[in-house]
A and B are shown apart, each in its own frame.
Chain A
Amino acid sequence: MDLETLTVTSGEWLRGTGPDSDIVVSSRIRLARNLAQFPFPPQADDGTRMEIEQVLRRRVESLSCTGRLGYISVDSLDQLDRQFLVERQLISREHAETHGPRGVGIGSEENVSLMINEEDHLRIQVLRSGYSLDECWNDINRIDDALEEHVTYAFSEEFGYLTSCPTNCGTGIRASVMLHLPALVLTKEIQKVFQALQKISLAVRGLYGEGSQAMGDFYQISNQVTLGQSEDQIISKLKEVVPNIIAYERRVRKALVKENRQRLHDQVSRAFGILQSAQTITSEETMHLLSSVRMGINLGLVEGIEIPTVNELFIHTQPAHLQKLRHEMLESAERNVARAAYLRQRLARQEPHEN
């Protein structure tokens, strides 16, 4: 698989469609699996890890239910390419940073990734645009079944699928949705969401930038419990909660527009303006402004830009992506200049023609 072609494309899950995609950016499910006959990766030496990689790579490459998967040996990538795959959400940060033989199988649409020798022998991930947990589960369940025909998973009737960390054993499932909740953040209503989620033991991960709480407009909500509940029960629990949060965010957005349309319109227009004209810009500020613009599009306050473009810019303005696009290593200050240039180019204003 060629990383250079990935640079200029973008994953299917960024296309910004799918159910409730004004608020749900993406849905994701991952399964943790291990082979019965090997120690878990953190405890395996390089020779053993290589054996594990060989066994699983063969299985991953002969999967037929996914379409053709490209395989990348993560161990042989340089730092920048690993970071690139992390930004792309195709491998975890842990997978980028650990050592020894390991790799990832990636579907051509970037909807599927199978990490080998992460914390577990195998981490299967399915990612989709919008709110589509059931589709994710159907896909991943099929992949899991297909793999299991040829390998023996570590499994016990008592503890289910056995994983390196006891927080994952049982189903080994982590189901999550990435929500864009700018209005709840703006009005500080988000605290109530945290409290409610905590009571039913769902985890919230925010995406934060340095020095400003307003960056945290994206939240990933996922199950914490993996043992003692079936996959269906775990997914159902998310499905009970997520629509309420979506409705809550929509309600608050509507109220904001009603009570303060002018101020909101001003805020998102300025955000768009800065993105179109800045000469140097940090990734934090970019994320913050893109978040405003994204909400503005959904509320009909911004024109001339579409959700898929915004989603893509979130990914393509991150450090490794910028450097891959420019084919050069850049210092932080240089990246800020390159980022601004890239944004200006992608968001070029239709200037009135001069006479």
Chain B
Amino acid sequence: MRKCRRCTKPATLHITEIRDGEVQALHLCESCAQDYLSNVDVGETVDEEDVAFGTQADEDVDEVFEGADDLKCENCGITFKQFRSQGRLGCPNDYIVFRERLLPLLESIHGETQHVGKCPQHTPDASRKQYELIRLRNDLRSAVESESYEDAARLRDEIQALENQLGIESGEE
């Protein structure tokens, strides 16, 4: 998800400029893109760093995540704040650790949060357990939502046990 280079809207047009061999990417929303196309500024420099996640124009999202920035993946050491500033996750485990915070982000990028495409044919045991963990957490959420507290308590124990097995520090709470 990139923000428009010139305003705060999501960028939908990605222009690659070539200036005698120097290639630069420019990310613009629709209205800024039209403006750009009708009068191309000569010599405007684009600083790619400015458009990374969270460095500018992300105030709305910042509010949502306030106070959660020091959440950290024990596997690769990246914090959620770091992710927000560099726009890149550190390792596959981050999808588990930062799950709750990634969901709204994924929703805004893709409009969906559940994979429906191709799956690897060979899935290792450890990943299977991780999917199970993901599923259990989903179940837990709906159990809490539907106020089935007995189920919720059981699911919480199962999650705890599986987390211990996988050596994952609980990312929640």
- Using CB atoms and an 8 Å cutoff, list the residues of chain A in contact with chain B: 34, 36, 38-40, 42-43, 83, 86, 93, 119, 141, 144-145, 148-149, 152-167, 169-171, 173, 191, 194-195, 198, 201, 203-213, 216, 224-231, 282-284, 287, 318-320, 332, 335
Residues in chain A near residue B20, CB distance under 8 A: 210, 282-284, 319, 332, 335
Q: Are A206 and B109 in contact (CB under 8 A)?
A: no
Whether, in the assembled complex, B64 has its beta carbon less than 8 Å from a beta carbon of chain A, the answer is no
Residues in chain A near residue B111, CB distance under 8 A: 201, 225, 228
State A155–B126 Cα separation when bound (angstroms).
11
State A213–B114 Cα separation when bound (angstroms).
40
The tally of residues in B whose CB lies under 8 Å from a CB in A reads: 60
Whether, in the assembled complex, B144 has its beta carbon less than 8 Å from a beta carbon of chain A, the answer is no
Which among B14, B23, B95, B109 is the interface contact of A156 at CB below 8 angstroms? B95
Q: Which of B86-94, B145-153, B156-164, B165-173 contacts A (4 or more CB under 8 A)?
A: B86-94
15 other A-B residue contacts (CB within 8 Å) besides A39-B76, A154-B92: A40-B91, A93-B25, A157-B115, A157-B135, A164-B89, A165-B89, A169-B115, A205-B13, A205-B14, A206-B16, A211-B42, A213-B37, A228-B115, A318-B21, A319-B20
Q: Are B40 and A206 in contact (CB under 8 A)?
A: no
16 pairs of residues in contact across A and B, judged by CB atoms under 8 Å? A36-B124, A40-B90, A43-B76, A93-B23, A149-B122, A157-B115, A160-B119, A164-B88, A166-B1, A169-B115, A191-B37, A209-B19, A213-B39, A227-B115, A228-B112, A287-B18
Residues in chain A near residue B76, CB distance under 8 A: 39-40, 43
Q: Are A158 and B90 in contact (CB under 8 A)?
A: no
CB distance from A118 to the nearest CB of B (A): 11
Q: Are A167 and B127 in contact (CB under 8 A)?
A: no
Which among B18, B106, B138 is the interface contact of A227 at CB below 8 angstroms? B106
Which among B1, B19, B77, B92 is the interface contact of A167 at CB below 8 angstroms? B1
Q: Are B34 and A191 in contact (CB under 8 A)?
A: yes
Which among B15, B21, B134 is the interface contact of A320 at CB below 8 angstroms? B21
CB distance from A165 to the nearest CB of B (A): 6
CB distance from A174 to the nearest CB of B (A): 12
> Which residues of B from 82 to 138 have beta carbons under 8 Å from A?
86-92, 95-96, 102, 105-106, 109-124, 126-127, 130-131, 134-135, 138
State A194–B14 Cα separation when bound (angstroms).
11
**3 nearest A-B pairs in the assembled complex, by CB-CB distance:** A228-B112, A160-B115, A319-B21
Residues in chain A near residue B138, CB distance under 8 A: 158
Whether, in the assembled complex, B17 has its beta carbon less than 8 Å from a beta carbon of chain A, the answer is yes
Residues in chain A near residue B15, CB distance under 8 A: 205-206, 208
Q: Are B90 and A231 in contact (CB under 8 A)?
A: no
Q: Are B127 and A156 in contact (CB under 8 A)?
A: yes
Given A86-B23, A156-B134, A166-B109, check contact A209 B18 (CB 8 Å). yes
Q: Are A162 and B118 in contact (CB under 8 A)?
A: no
Q: Are A43 and B90 in contact (CB under 8 A)?
A: yes
Given A165-B89, A227-B112, check contact A157 B131 (CB 8 Å). yes
Residues in chain A near residue B18, CB distance under 8 A: 207-210, 283-284, 287
